[in-house]
Amino acid sequence: GQHLPMVRTLLGDYVPCGFNQGKTVYQKRTGESVFMYYWDARDGDDLSGWWFGEAVGGTEVWGLASTHGPSPPQTGWKIPWDAKMAQHGIL
């Protein structure tokens, strides 16, 4: 689909690289600068959950999973982050 290049950017191995809002932040090991991090409800419930972005808390973001568990989910990601519904499958 039209978002396949974005998905390819996000795919890869991630390693822990710190913490944000009490949860581990993960950085993509190789390729583009991509972080996977948790953001709480301080900016509203619709913006809380696990994010893929260029920087922790940055404005360049690609995916959102509106879950609040201790680690990022394998499914339920919206790509792009403002898509109407989550994509099926495992990212």
What values do phi and psi take at 64, rounded to 5? -140, 130
Q: Name the H helices within the chain.
A: 4-10
Note the pLDDT tens digit of each residue in 13-27.
Answer: 999 999 999 999 999
Q: For 31-70, what is each residue's pLDDT tens digit?
A: 889 999 999 999 999 999 999 999 999 999 999 999 999 9
Cis peptide before 80 (omega within 30 of 0): yes
| 31/89: higher pLDDT | 31
Rounded to whole angstroms, how far apart are CA atoms 88 and 41? 25
